[in-house]
Structure 1
């Protein structure tokens, strides 16, 4: 055998193009046709070796080298095959790495020999897939993309490996420095665009690529412990995929929402272990970080884990989770806002239906979701039509008898919270929803009151959920429920100096009176925080006077089991809810959960400016503290007498009675807005 490096040009033979010469035996009296034929014919006995300077080899020679290497590899002669494989695996910054222009010839040669790249050549294929291609020159990138397309067309079994390689760049983009000296500098934004161009190109050519991508995207999603930057970068990229791969749009949106809800829920679980002042400090720290960093940088919060005790480490982890949730929410607000801002009715309808589906299937069944649902809150208020669609969605879920009680209760809370807190929810929508809730409340009262002996959340959970939704909505939107001559809401002055009783919309005053004083006694079961606020507002507006009933309710004991068949918790299984987390009598009361209570994430809360109805003291109504101070002495005397009587009649301990009374008293001091979650992360 003769090495190419040692050959000399034969006289009378025309050499092929630059890159080397072929040694042939001289023969006498060769005709021109024979000479021409021999000039393009390779001796099958000649071995092809890589020249010391690979950058001088011609494309024809490289093609022959690749063909020979694949043929010999088929019969287990792997020398040339391994050299090509190692050549592709070399980093561009390596001293032995060929120039991109030279390596591109190997890509072209491999593309011309794709049928030979079967599974026996998987090592070479993986070298192709792992090749550092993104930061090289444009011609190289095009040749690489063409090679991948040809490979997947002939050997679709390699599709997953190629897609995994592309999706992995969504997590961590290769450095722009991974290029050769014949490659121009490429900005990072262009590098990411090249990945998407390549993926888009392959999705068009390979019918099965989108199906595989549907499983690959969740598999590669960042772990919950990964950094904020990693999460944001990955989500930003897969949302970009959804724009040019519409068949994956629903899958991607649901995937992001599901992961976001899990982060949100974990924060709420972790927060319960902390003191209230620590929660406040976390919010303040997150706000300071949002002001200091306008964009996400590579500088993640770094501190010595060894120097932190258990509580400090837990606080640090929660703070990082809050920042992560905030950054993702900000990204999603911007993504969806871009779609709604374009004004394309088809796209708006499509994306809003997707959000409603995610709400019903992901957000609603998750009890502890605290911030994720504000995507619906914001974009539902873009237009009156979307307001009505979201309200209708919540109404349907709240009154759907096929759904479990726990989901219907949650839907009623979402409906009430949206109507109460949505600044762009019109008075007509408030009245329509109020009408609907009153109708269902009355229907349930008529059917259930004859069988009711004592208030029982287990038996009448849906009824109490609707009752609480009504009293919560009343506290915020009472102006829209007062009938005026001109149809306009009353001003503060008109409220303060209105001497006679107000006229209330559609007889709701009678509906409230019949239900509040019924055997079902909703004010005993509804959250004390909401009940106390409603009592004050309703009394000040001369709507209904319920303070005597509240005093009576303090002496009613709730001790029924909530786990019986067909009860409130039936069908929920072991899933943790607000009810299972409570202790004592609080476990028999509705949770003060209204999902659109104030949004506190510092970076993303800018999207909700102008969307939110803040709690305002009703004109002429004294603050809660002043009223309590005036009645403290009388209440103390009455409670002492009442406790003594209760202990003698019921045989219960004094401490148990104080615990029940304390729930109502403490809830009255927590907040002035009728919710128990004001300012919570």
Structure 2
């Protein structure tokens, strides 16, 4: 027996479910309490299809239209699931790179128009399972590609929700230039989620850009965000892993957020500089003081943050010869080394007084130039010499003769991966949160800059206009005679984005690495290797700047 029952498409089914839920919640105001556990229970597993994830995220965010009381819980759930996929990609990429295979990368995920509403996406995951060779390696490659598209699609939906909600509040009244109250409430919700989840997850690659986007809406949000990170860094009751992570987030944020004003950059430099100076004054009191990445982990993380920020923001930190600069920036310091008398451009450079801490710190017995990431140190050495800010190559040469053995972490240490159990607060509980191996800490501080370039295709447009790409210092020198510094335009420090070819040559300028009479060819090799690892001044060890497209056997 046949029936004439019409076929109902998925969109109509979803709309009817939302109408039913809205009606039920209207009858039972407390029903939201029972609804959320069901929503969390039915959330697709991270290994399910792109279609399953994007459709579910799209509809669970739709629930917030008629159940705003669940906003904190639902956004927290969605971000938690997104970060699981995000970290999983990093883990699988690192496993591939550690294997005996050669990996080719490309982060373009634009296989279709949007990767969200096409139900055929659900079949693409199944097809990927059938494309394996006898060793099964291509399956892993395709799986990473599918997971990256999944991550991109979910982040696109979250960004779209935030944009739509913000636009819907534009007409609301505001006071003293603040954002409308509902937008401020949404920001505080996301800030809480960031502090409780994202900050405590090592190797998250893209999820943190949710807060990066939200903070861009208001200078007040930037102050809140920087204040929250600064509080974590200075709070000695916090586990060291959280304080180190907060320092990484602060340095990467200040370097990459195009919307920060000079006041905020200088505030961060002063805070971090005072912190390291106070610690050096307390600790560096005798010849028995030795570098220790375990005991002084936060100190090294903050010094590394200062060097990283300097590489990106030296144009803001340099004080030009104007009376207004003295009035607005406070005390200044001159060039920290003798200027090049043959270079008229370099004579008379003056720097914000907060940078004065670096000279004292890098020459201390704690020897941060030995303990911090070698890529950060090399780039800082190049730029600081080029600008006559500081000359540190003699220290680097001396450090080559210093051997600091690896050692077991203290039993009570909360440093990244200390001991065998990670850390007490659960950061990196998925197994990806520890850079240490076998309970040992490397002598060099693990590098992690969470706002490295955003490479997801679909959601990338949300970063346009707010993200600072790397710009080499020699490019600024070329334009210095044409473009005079305008104090009235220092609220938003604008840069031009470099193309891909220029980004491969970051920080190149004559004389940097040859100052000690070293071999030119050897230094060129070192420079090429450093530029390769930096990847557009992106010095995080995470390999997910790219997506695995295919692999070939190592020759």
Instruction: Please tell me whether residue 296 in structure 1 is matched to residue 117 in structure 2.
Output: yes
Which string of whole-angstrom CA distances, capped at 9 and with x for unpartnered residues, describes residues 80-124 of structure 1?
A: xxxxxxxxxxxxxx64x7x9xxxxxxxxxxxxxxxxxxxxxxxxx
Shift of 1:196: 1.1
1:251-330 correspondence to structure 2 within 5 Å: 251-275=73-97, 280-284=104-108, 286-287=109-110, 289-290=111-112, 292-293=113-114, 296-300=117-121, 301=124, 303=127, 305-309=129-133, 310-330=136-156
Output the CA distance in 1 between the equivalents of 2:13 and 2:432: 46
Does the C-alpha gap of structure 1 residues 228 and 634 become closer, same or farther in structure 2, counting only changes over 3 Å?
Answer: same
Unmatched segments (≥5 aa) in structure 2:
173-179, 330-342, 423-428, 479-504, 547-555
1:206 equivalent in structure 2: 28
Out of 479, 483, 507, which is 2:319 matched to?
A: 483
Instruction: Please tell me whether residue 408 in structure 1 is matched to residue 291 in structure 2.
Output: no
Shift of 1:400: 1.9
Which string of whole-angstrom CA distances, capped at 9 and with x for unpartnered residues, describes residues 247-290 of structure 1?
A: 21111110001000000000000011234997654424x24x15
Contact 2:276 2:299 (C-alpha < 8 Å) held by counterparts:
yes
Output the CA distance in 1 between the equivalents of 2:232 and 2:406: 27
1:680 equivalent in structure 2: 545
Instruction: Please tell me whether residue 383 in structure 1 is matched to residue 207 in structure 2.
Output: no
3-state SS, counterpart of residue 389 of structure 2:
coil
Output the CA distance in 2 between the equivalents of 1:236 and 1:507: 46
Does the C-alpha gap of structure 1 residues 625 and 672 become closer, same or farther in structure 2, counting only changes over 3 Å?
Answer: farther
Shift of 1:305: 3.3
**Larger RCO (CA under 8 A, 6+ residues apart):** 2
Does the C-alpha gap of structure 1 residues 505 and 327 become closer, same or farther in structure 2, counting only changes over 3 Å?
Answer: same
For normalisation by structure 2, the TM-score amounts to 0.77
1:592 equivalent in structure 2: 447
Does the C-alpha gap of structure 1 residues 675 and 562 become closer, same or farther in structure 2, counting only changes over 3 Å?
Answer: farther
Unmatched segments (≥5 aa) in structure 1:
1-93, 100-135, 137-175, 179-186, 490-495, 640-661
Output the CA distance in 1 between the equivalents of 2:35 and 2:392: 60
Shift of 1:535: 0.4
Shift of 1:293: 4.9
Shift of 1:505: 1.0
Contact 1:533 1:672 (C-alpha < 8 Å) held by counterparts:
no
3-state SS, counterpart of residue 402 of structure 2:
coil
1:426-465 correspondence to structure 2 within 5 Å: 426-450=261-285, 453-465=289-301
3-state SS, counterpart of residue 274 of structure 1:
helix
1:52-91 correspondence to structure 2 within 5 Å: none
Output the CA distance in 2 between the equivalents of 1:479 and 1:623: 16
1:505 equivalent in structure 2: 352
Output the CA distance in 1 between the equivalents of 2:512 and 2:274: 38
Output the CA distance in 1 between the equivalents of 2:544 and 2:81: 24
Instruction: Please tell me whether residue 177 in structure 1 is matched to residue 7 in structure 2.
Output: yes
3-state SS, counterpart of residue 450 of structure 1:
coil
3-state SS, counterpart of residue 538 of structure 2:
coil
Contact 1:529 1:674 (C-alpha < 8 Å) held by counterparts:
no
2:518 equivalent in structure 1: 635
1:557 equivalent in structure 2: 403
Does the C-alpha gap of structure 1 residues 216 and 679 become closer, same or farther in structure 2, counting only changes over 3 Å?
Answer: closer
Does the C-alpha gap of structure 1 residues 672 and 242 become closer, same or farther in structure 2, counting only changes over 3 Å?
Answer: closer
Higher helix share: 1
Shift of 1:479: 1.0
Output the CA distance in 2 between the equivalents of 1:672 and 1:372: 20
Does the C-alpha gap of structure 1 residues 218 and 293 become closer, same or farther in structure 2, counting only changes over 3 Å?
Answer: closer
